[in-house]
Amino acid sequence: MAATADPEAWLDSHGDALYAFAMMRVRNAAVAEDLVQETLLAALGALAGFDGRSSERTWLIGILKHKLIDHLRRAGREQTADTTSDDEAVWNARFDHTGHWAEPPRDWGDPARIAENDGLRQALAGCIARLPERQRLLFVLREVDGLDTDELLDTLGISSANNLWVMLSRARAALRECIERTWGGGGRR
Amino acid sequence: MIDCNEATRLNASAPERPLTLGERISLTLHLALCPPCRYFRRQMAALRAAARGLEADAVPKPPVLEDAARERLRERLRAARDDT
C-alpha cells in the first residue's frame, strides 16, 4: 500500500494503535500523546523514506519506537536506584529457610504451545501493566521489542550489566507469579 | 549443590547472563533432581515466546486516544502541514 502524505488519515487509521503501543511502555497519557504527535510529524517529514515494503502501520510503529527510545534515554538520567534491599526481600520470600520453593511453580506444559495460548497472552499483557515502572520497561524493551543488552543499558541508564540481569530476573519472576495467580490455564502442581 | 533460590536466579537471568562452567554444572544437576525448577525454567521459555511481538492491544481494554487528545493532535498536524 502506498503511503499518502496525510497525517490526519494516519491519525484515523493508526492513532489508537500508536497510542496503545506508547502507553504499554510509558503509561502516561500526556507523554504517549506527545510521542504519537512526534511520530506523525516525523513520518510526514520522512515520507520519502517509506518504501512501501512494510505496511504503513509497521513503518509508523518503527518511527514511534525510535521516538520512544529517545524519550527514555532522556528520562533515564533522572531515574531512581536500579535495585533495592526491598526487592531482595521480595525475592527471598519465595523460598523457605532451606532454599526450597515456598509455593512451587506449576507445570504449564510445552512452552512453544502454551505461548500461543490467548489466555496466557492476555494474562501476560495484564501482568506487564502491573509491574513497577523500571521492571516493566526493561521487560517490554527486552522481550517484546528485542533490544540487546547494550541498547538496554544505554536507553534506561542502568549502571551495569549485572544490575540489568538482576532487574530482568525480578521482572520475570514477578510476571510468572502474577500469571499463575490470574490465569486459569496451565497444568498441575 | 545449589538450592532452588540460587537455581531460580540463574534460570531467570538466562539467556542474557552468561554462566560459568561451575554454574552450568550446578544448575544442570539441580534441574535433574527438582521438578519445580524445571517447570520454572519452562515457564521462562513460555514467557519469552509469548512476549515476542506481543501487541499492545492484547489486553481486553487497550487504551485509546480520547476525543480531546485526538482533536489536539489533529489541530497540530494540520498546522504542521500548512507550514510545509
User: Domain spans of chain A?
Assistant: 7-76, 85-182
Tens digit of each residue's pLDDT (9 = 90 or more) over A87-112: 899 999 999 999 999 999 999 999 99
The answer, yes or no, to whether residue A174 has pLDDT greater than 80, is yes
Q: Is B32 on the interface with A (CB under 8 A)?
A: no
pLDDT above 60: residue A186: yes
Among residues of chain A, what percentage have pLDDT more than 70? 90
* Mean pLDDT, chain A, whole residue set: 89
With 90 as the cut, is the pLDDT of residue A50 above it?
A: no
Task: Please report, in tens digits, the pLDDT of each residue of chain B (84 residues total).
Answer: 899 999 999 999 999 999 999 999 999 999 999 999 999 999 999 999 999 978 877 777 788 999 999 999 999 888 887 776
Alpha carbon distance, N-terminus to C-terminus of chain A: 50
Put simply, the answer to whether B49 touches A115 (Cβ < 8 Å) is: yes
Q: In this complex, do B44 and A168 lie within 8 Å of one another by their Cβ atoms?
A: no
Outline where DSSP puts E strands in chain B. none
Measured between CA atoms, the residue of chain A closest to residue B54 is A144
Q: At A4, is the pLDDT very low, low, confident or very high (cuts 50, 70, 90)?
A: low
The nearest CA of chain B is from the CA of A154 a distance in Å of 16
Q: Are the beta carbons of A172 and B47 separated by less than 8 Å?
A: yes
Classify domain A7-76 at the CATH topology level. Rna Polymerase Sigma Factor; Chain: A (1.10.1740)
Residue A8 — pLDDT band, cuts 50, 70, 90? confident
CA separation (Å) from A153 to A165, B3, B70, B83? 11, 30, 34, 38
Residues 6+ apart with CB under 8 A from A135: A167, A170, A171, A174
Between CA B65 and CA A73 the distance in angstroms is 25
Q: Where are the domains positioned within chain B?
A: 1-54
Place of cell 534491599: A85
State mean pLDDT over A151-156: 93
Predicted local confidence at residue A1, as pLDDT = 46
- CATH architecture of the domain formed by A85-182: Orthogonal Bundle (1.10)
CB distance from B71 to chain A under 8 Å? Answer: no
Closest CB to B58 among A92, A125, A149: A125
ipTM of the complex: 0.88
